[in-house]
Amino acid sequence: MIASLQVVIFFVFYIAIFGLSLWALIDLLRRPATAFPQAGKRTKGFWGAIVGVATAVSFSVIPIPGVPHLPSFLALLAAVGAIVYLVDVKPAVTPYSGGRGRGRGPRGPSGPSGGW
């Protein structure tokens, strides 16, 4: 009984890591490449490689009966890559991305003149 509960908990854990990595990858793909250097971060290609590998690894670690998968400790490394992007890079890049992030930039909501 406990062993089957552990299997379910680990399965949910791996699915959550995959979801987190996929969320980071989708967000990264929506950002313009010029926003990364403007925010003082590494290039979009660098973060694309980190988050892309994290997504692929987190998918490959999901335990499916009868299908070989990677060692489970790699899921933690995948989670670290996605979390670093989401908590450090994404907030820094958002003001330079246009769209929803426009108004929260370093110059404020009204641009450099400060209003009217």
Q: Residue 97 pLDDT more than 70?
A: yes
Q: What is the pLDDT of residues 43-75, one digit of tens each?
A: 999 999 999 999 999 999 988 877 777 788 899
Which among 97, 74, 87, 91 has a CA at the least distance from the CA of 18?
74
Q: What percent of the chain has pLDDT over 70?
A: 84
**What is the DSSP secondary structure assignment for residue 39, as one 8-state letter?**
T
- The confidence band for 106, taking pLDDT boundaries of 50, 70 and 90, is low
**Residue burial 74-90, b: 16+ Cβ < 10 Å; e: rest:** bbeebbebbebbbeebb
